[in-house]
Amino acid sequence: MPEFAPGDVFVDHRIEGLAGRGGMGVVYRATQLGLERTVALKIITPALADDEDFRKRFVAESRAAASIEHPNVIPVYDAGERDGVLFIVMRYIDGPDLRALVRAEGRLEPERAAQIVAQIGGALDGAHRHGLVHRDVKPANVLLDDEDHAYLTDFGLTKRAATTDGGGLSRAGGWVGTLGYVAPEQIRGERIDARTDVYALGCVLVYALTGSAPYIRDSDEATLWAHLNAPPPSEDVPPQFEGVVARALAKDPSDRYPSAGDLGRAALRAAGRSATALPERNVGRGQAAPLDGGTDATALQGAPADPDGETQLSPLDGVAAAAARRRRVATAATRPRAGAGAASPRPPRCSSPAPPGSRCSAAMATIRAPPRHRLLRRRPASCARRRSTSRDPACLRAPTR
């Protein structure tokens, strides 16, 4: 990976100084020559850049991230490859990331922690609406300015890897980056969606409240086991946040908050702050949409259509709705078909009288046949004339109506 010194120029950006260094690469404070504005220029580490699949996804997802217009998503100005070097140019934030803030000041006050998490929850909702799953939500990717305005950064900078040089596993099947925020479905190699980021954001909430990521153990293997099996942490978590943390860190994605915004609003309410009253919903589209919750809520609930077509049922509601649809289809298959006219129950195109043995004959016989309990309650007309003296077995069995 090339090392730049102040004054060097790379892709029309003059390097001003080193801003940070991590497992994903090096960030420089630079000046965009064409506009004379200060930007953050990130050079991706060769351990990632040399992987062809990562290179393709990095360019595609960087472009997708650049299309997200949200006040809590770091604006991306440019991304690409030059002379075999992957780079991304973003807005420069003159402030610490959440990890550096907590290391310097210790655990945050609950209200401040909830406010930061709610902002990142909104940013993730914006990404999920564009079909983008972040995959690596962690404190180091949450940038803060001097007014605690939070920005989410580093979309798409994760991959499966055989080895890593930074934090994380150093053996086959590991993840680039820290393991403190990885969801169980990522560990199991299952499909990920927006709820994977919800889990990671729940871990960020725990970190902000306690000063430590949840499930951290003495070894990587123990940490992975804890993510898969250990109950949600409660030690040092303020009591009013225990329910929020427990739901956010549920092992089954369908038991979590359906969206990151829902988690953020729940955190605000736990901190005693007012939050916009919105129904819980999935907002993910494309790859970010849960496979078990993709049914349009408006079709089943008769609600006004969402202007962006993004509202979906929560996963549990989607399963229940699918079961209800199956029951309706099964019931409709056993009922005779109704005609076009509301006043006539005959099947379409059936004439009267219908030919014996035909479909219409069987259907009309079913329609015309009275309920069985009415058949049992009827009495032959002759019984009325014979009164109670009749010994006709039909008259003796048939009760008087």
Cβ neighbors of 316 (< 8 A, separation 6 or more) are: 254
Q: What is the pLDDT of residue 381?
A: 53
Of all residues in the chain, the percent with pLDDT exceeding 90 is 50
pTM: 0.68
Q: Which domains does the chain have, with CATH numbers?
A: 9-91 (3.30.200.20), 98-296+309-318 (1.10.510.10), 369-401 (no CATH)
Asked if residue 299 has pLDDT above 70, the reply is no
Asked if residue 246 has pLDDT above 80, the reply is yes
Contact predicate 64/155, CB 8 Å:
yes
Asked if residue 379 has pLDDT above 70, the reply is no
Predicted confidence band of residue 25 (pLDDT cuts 50, 70, 90): confident
Asked if residue 323 has pLDDT above 50, the reply is no
Q: What is the mean pLDDT of residues 270-274?
A: 91
Q: What is the pLDDT of residue 372?
A: 46
**Residue range 197-215, pLDDT digits in tens:** 999 999 999 999 999 999 9
Which residues are part of the catalytic machinery? 136
Answer with the residue of higher pLDDT: 383 or 2. Answer: 2
3-state class (DSSP) for residue 263: helix
Distances, alpha carbon 83 to alpha carbons 44, 51, 87, 195, 268, in Å: 13, 15, 11, 37, 47
DSSP for 269-288? Answer: HHTT---------B---GGG
User: What's the rounded Cα separation, in Å, for the pair 320 and 290?
Assistant: 15
Asked if residue 363 has pLDDT above 70, the reply is no
Q: What is the pLDDT of residue 28?
A: 96
Q: What is the pLDDT of residue 160?
A: 38
3-state class (DSSP) for residue 225: helix
Closest CA to 48 of 176, 169, 224: 176
User: What's the rounded Cα separation, in Å, for the pair 177 and 23?
Assistant: 7
User: What's the rounded Cα separation, in Å, for the pair 113 and 122?
Assistant: 14
Contact predicate 45/165, CB 8 Å:
yes
User: What's the rounded Cα separation, in Å, for the pair 351 and 374?
Assistant: 27
